[in-house]
Structure 1
Amino acid sequence: MSDNRLGSAVSPYLRQHADNPVDWREWGPDAFAEARARDVPVLVSVGYATCHWCHVMARESFSDPEVAELLRRDFVAVKVDREERPDVDASLMASASAFTQQLGWPLTAFTTGDAQVFFAGTYYPPVPVGQVGSFRQVLAAVLDAWRERRHEVDANATAIAAAIRQGAEAEATARGGGADGGDEPRLPTVDAIRAVTTQLAASEDTTYGGFGGAPKFPSTPLLEFLADVAADGDDAARALLERSLHAIRSTELTDADGGVFRYATKRDWSVPHYERMLYDNAGLLAVADAEQARGIADFLRDTLRRDDGAFVAAQDSESTMDGRRVEGEWYRLPLDQRGRFDPPPLDDQVLTGWNGLAIRGLAIAGSRHGDDEMLALARGAADAVLAAHVRDGHVVVRSSTPRGASSAAPTVEDVGLFAEGLLELALVTGDVTLAEQARTIVDDGLAGRFTVDPVLAGAGTATGEQPQTAMRSGTVALASAAVTLAALTGDDAYRDAAARLVADRASTGTERPLGHADALGVALALGRPSREVVVVASDPVDPMRAVRRDARRPGTVVARVTPDQADQWAEAGFELFAGRGALDPAGYVCHDRVCALPARRAEDLHAQLVG
């Protein structure tokens, strides 16, 4: 009889496996205690709700009663949703890199009862394919090693755990530089950062656009870095960015409804991998032109937005058509024919960090393109997440669904991305309550108030957040929010903290920008003189308020407020706004919070900005 325990899970991915004959357990101390008591290895299978190859392996192997019996007898089987528990995924991925460089999902890891990995891979087919063994063969080999070469298993597990621990300690040391009299963090120079664009230009696919070959990803942090360098005056970076964005919006990677797929399987951006993730689309909003941004915002509004205003995580690549489960066919239909079939299902998790990324993207795009609906969408998401995931100013929930809140603890991704999104929206709308919430959340993040997963803590394999290629890092977002707070409050401790957070990542990024591009962008802002721009106008259509559309550049913070809002910001401790509510309209251009005489007309303000 099956003892599958996923029926009450919050995660949609875990619930997809609730009817498997496998005796699945959720990640947690109880599963590993069971493995120790039975002296059996643990299979940890990691995926997410819209992962096509996760679906395939579920149909081929985890729905097979004979495979289920093997797992029931000789293993403890654990299912993990990487979106719900990114810390667990990061740790297991770091361990898996000891066995394969072809990392991805589903991730298939085997651990000891102490949760230390001794073997790992990704998707395994039901029968051997070329040099890849079948899943049953892998299970047999793992079990043979466990029973006959236990000393090798334990040695492997111990060595991998030690390597992960060493890497995590090195990163923690780098982040702590400059504290308590330690070494000051060493940021790369502005020239070194700008020179990275030469590397990127050399890796550009000059035939089809973008970077590298197949598979080809939008790589939104890389695109935003190019936007930062372009705003810093680099025309070559601007041209490279525009070519890359054109390739994304004019090929099959962008669906007819405006949403963008996760990646293309071919070098020419054709044959997309059809799942659509919130983070890809949100990241593109920050750099897209008006037409592309409008299409993405429409997709978020019409497909991923819940009734309460929050955004869910993703839309699947597969759908059921004419009784068949198929990948991509619904998306290949013309828009006017899609209504004949049920659309691909949604991953209905609301993730704090991913919503923060969407809030930020919508706020940036809405301001840049003068689109009030984008700002309204951002505000709706902010209000929904604040109501459901934040208590007394502190992020307490990472993931929730209509079935409740997950027990998984918030991570730096949730704190950093959400705080950055709230600050961006506050600067655009002038609502100081959003900035106050963000300040509390940033203070939590800088104080390191995170709960380390108890299983990872016991195993000594908590990695912290790893550099990412597909979405903005929470660590980097936390640093970016701290830079903004330094400009708004006058407290340079925020700026020092930001430098500590990104210095090591940015230094690595000058040699290997993929995975570190977001840190390079923040380091570029830190390398430029701080400039603050405050626009005060009670008239919402005053031309002075349009300045934000062309004033965004590294090292510059721009805020738009009414006179009453300026007073509220000042009263809340944001010193930049002290005395700014006296004139209406007025524009202030400040350098390290030392301001020039106020400009009273848009053209005068523009002259100060370009002067």
Structure 2
Amino acid sequence: MTDNRLGSAVSPYLRQHADNPVDWREWGPEAFAEARERDVPVLVSVGYATCHWCHVMARESFSDPGIGELLRQDFVAVKVDREERPDVDASLMASASAFTQQLGWPLTTFLTPDGHVFFAGTYFPPSPVGQVPAFRQILAAVLDAWTERRHEVDANASAIAAAIRQGAEADRTARGGADGGGDEPRLPSVDDVRAVVDQLAQAEDTTYGGFGGAPKFPSAPLLEFLSDVAADGDARASALLERSLHAIRASELTDADGGVFRYATKRDWSVPHYERMLYDNAGLLAVAGAEQARGIADFLRDTLRRADGGFVAAQDSESTIDGRRVEGEWYRLPLDERGRLDPPPLDDQVLTGWNGLAIRGLAIAGARHGDAEMIELARGAADAIVAGHLTDGHVSVRSSTPRGASTAAPTIEDVGLLAEGLLELALVTGELPYADVARTLVDDGLAGRFDTDPVLAAAGTATGEQPQTAMRSGTVALAAAAATLAALTGDESYRAAAVSLVADRAVTGTERPLGHADALGVALALQRPSREVVVVASDPDDPIRAAARGARRPGTVVATVTPTQAADWSAAGFTLFESRGRLDPAGYVCHDRVCALPARSVDELTAQLSA
């Protein structure tokens, strides 16, 4: 008999484990209090609902009654959804790096009742495979260390926790300017940022495209950095970006319905790892060409979109065919044959931050390619998130499902990504309410209004948001949104905050760009002369609106509004729009908010933009 407590969980990943013969608990102070009372270690297993190897370990080990009994007797077992609790995942990942550099999910960690990691790994098989021990062997070794060498366990756990605290303190010091203290941060120079393209060119796989060997990831933040440098006039970056996008578009990584898989297991982009994440597809939207972007938008609309307009987190790699759970088989069928089988299930979490990323990607792609439906999809997601996850303009819910809202606290990922997405949508549509909410979110983010997880707070192991390779960082998104607000309002404190948020990450990125490419792009924009473009036209099809599409580049903010909208923005404190509604149509090209005479035609606007 088990005391598994996951049956009422909101997270779809936790609910997948509700029938395990394991006494699973959810993450929280209660689980650690139980471990303290029983004086046993805590097993924390981290994964997510569409993770193939998480499914495998669940079938092999967590469905084994014998392992369930071992865990019941000698451990407190805790399940964590990394999508629901990215702060917990980040902390445990940082600790796990002391034991392995092959980090990923499932993440298997062992903690003291004080919340300090003393051993960690990833997937463990039911029987030894090469140098990888069986999960039972791991449990036995951990239990032996706990009972026979407790002083070593405590010493190791304390040392790792101390290293985590030091790293977090260094990060806080680097961000001191955004918090109102510390030395003035320094951005890398434009030349240093552009020199990163040389590193990427050397890392390019000139045979198959992309970067490095197997496995191959789409790495949307890296591609967006190349897009930024290309828009800044670098032809090498433009060519490298196009080759990379073509490799993704023409390979097995892109499904027949337009959606993009998480990564390819082979160097030639073949044999995908078949799960499809919202963040990969949303990130690629910001850089993809018209055909590729349209395919991704179709996938978001047809597969991940809920009835209310919000997007769920992912689609699984596995499906059930002839009574068996198999990976990838459904995706390998032609599109016209898939309908006779049940599709792979969805991770039905709606995540605030990930939806912000989708709103941004759809708004950028819709404006760039003149695709009104993409903008409508962005608007639908924005309305759903604002209505369901915000209270009085502040993020109150990180994750929700049809079963309710998670108790996990919102993070900087939610605030930063949603703020940037809403602001991008506001600039494309001219709709002030999105900008008003975005400004509130930026203010919240800069004020650091986030609740630290109580277990991490007590353990002193909260790391804050870590650099990421697969999706845009909430910290970087917050900086980008703040920089945009500086251009729209004239409030230079927003720009100073943006510099503080990205300076240290960008400097690191000049040497190690993979995890910091997004910061490099924002740093480039902050170093470039500020240019603001406002197009005023009542007719949504006026060609002067289309003429502004190509103006987007680092350091440039582009807004399209009607005369009435311009007056509304001005009245709300967005001073860039003052007196902009008098002429219709008209384009205003400004440098550091000093504007040239209004352009009344496409030719005049084009000439000013090219000057």
Shorter-normalised TM range: over 0.9
Q: Distance in 2 between matches of 1:539 and 1:269?
A: 44
Please say if residues 502 and 519 of structure 1, whose CA atoms lie closer than 8 Å, have aligned partners that are also in contact: yes
1:541-585 deviation digits (Å, cap 9, x = unpaired): 111101332000000000000000000000000000000001101
Q: Distance in 1 between matches of 2:182 and 2:602?
A: 46
Please say if residues 262 and 272 of structure 1, whose CA atoms lie closer than 8 Å, have aligned partners that are also in contact: yes
Q: Distance in 2 between matches of 1:406 and 1:505?
A: 31
Give the letter for the 1:205 counterpart: D
Q: How is 1:501-580 mapped onto 2 (pairs within 5 angstroms)? A: 501-580=501-580
Give the letter for the 1:424 counterpart: E
Deviation, structure 1 residue 43:
0.2
Q: How is 1:107-506 mapped onto 2 (pairs within 5 angstroms)? A: 107-177=107-177, 180=180, 182-506=182-506
Identity within the alignment, %: 84
Please say if residues 367 and 548 of structure 1, whose CA atoms lie closer than 8 Å, have aligned partners that are also in contact: no
Q: Distance in 1 between matches of 2:540 and 2:145?
A: 70
Please say if residues 196 and 513 of structure 2, whose CA atoms lie closer than 8 Å, have aligned partners that are also in contact: yes
Q: Distance in 1 between matches of 2:218 and 2:428?
A: 27
1:18 aligned residue: 18
Q: Distance in 2 between matches of 1:391 and 1:547?
A: 38
Please say if residues 179 and 447 of structure 2, whose CA atoms lie closer than 8 Å, have aligned partners that are also in contact: no
Deviation, structure 1 residue 180:
4.8
1:28-78 deviation digits (Å, cap 9, x = unpaired): 000000000000000000000000000000000000000000000000000
C-alpha spacing 1:325/1:496, structure 2 compared with 1 (3 Å): same
Aligned residue for 2:339, secondary structure, equals: helix
C-alpha spacing 1:468/1:570, structure 2 compared with 1 (3 Å): same
Please say if residues 178 and 501 of structure 2, whose CA atoms lie closer than 8 Å, have aligned partners that are also in contact: no
1:262-302 deviation digits (Å, cap 9, x = unpaired): 00000000000000000000000000000000000000000
Please state if 1:32 is matched with 2:50: no
Give the letter for the 2:318 counterpart: E
Deviation, structure 1 residue 179:
5.9
Q: Distance in 1 between matches of 2:159 and 2:494?
A: 38
Aligned residue for 2:580, secondary structure, equals: coil
Q: Distance in 2 between matches of 1:425 and 1:78?
A: 39
Q: Distance in 1 between matches of 2:547 and 2:278?
A: 29
Deviation, structure 1 residue 539:
1.0
Please say if residues 215 and 266 of structure 2, whose CA atoms lie closer than 8 Å, have aligned partners that are also in contact: yes
Q: Distance in 1 between matches of 2:199 and 2:180?
A: 37
TM-score if structure 1 supplies the norm length? 1.00
Q: Which runs of 4+ in 1 moved over 6 A?
A: none
Please say if residues 178 and 185 of structure 1, whose CA atoms lie closer than 8 Å, have aligned partners that are also in contact: no
C-alpha spacing 1:88/1:242, structure 2 compared with 1 (3 Å): same
Q: Distance in 2 between matches of 1:115 and 1:594?
A: 55
Deviation, structure 1 residue 178:
7.2
Give the letter for the 1:174 counterpart: A
1:101 aligned residue: 101
Q: Distance in 1 between matches of 2:519 and 2:482?
A: 13
1:353-404 deviation digits (Å, cap 9, x = unpaired): 0000000000000000000000000000000000000000100100000000
Aligned residue for 2:440, secondary structure, equals: helix
Please say if residues 44 and 111 of structure 2, whose CA atoms lie closer than 8 Å, have aligned partners that are also in contact: yes
Q: Distance in 2 between matches of 1:243 and 1:593?
A: 37
1:77-122 deviation digits (Å, cap 9, x = unpaired): 0000000000000000000000000000000000000110000000
Q: Which runs of 5+ in 2 are unaligned?
A: none
Aligned residue for 2:77, secondary structure, equals: strand
Please say if residues 562 and 581 of structure 1, whose CA atoms lie closer than 8 Å, have aligned partners that are also in contact: yes
Aligned residue for 2:118, secondary structure, equals: strand
Give the letter for the 1:494 counterpart: Y
Q: Distance in 1 between matches of 2:418 and 2:352?
A: 6
Q: Distance in 2 between matches of 1:27 and 1:203?
A: 40
Q: Distance in 2 between matches of 1:574 and 1:547?
A: 23
Please say if residues 178 and 446 of structure 2, whose CA atoms lie closer than 8 Å, have aligned partners that are also in contact: no
Aligned residue for 1:560, secondary structure, equals: strand
Q: Distance in 1 between matches of 2:61 and 2:424?
A: 46
TM-score if structure 2 supplies the norm length? 1.00
Q: Distance in 2 between matches of 1:478 and 1:181?
A: 18
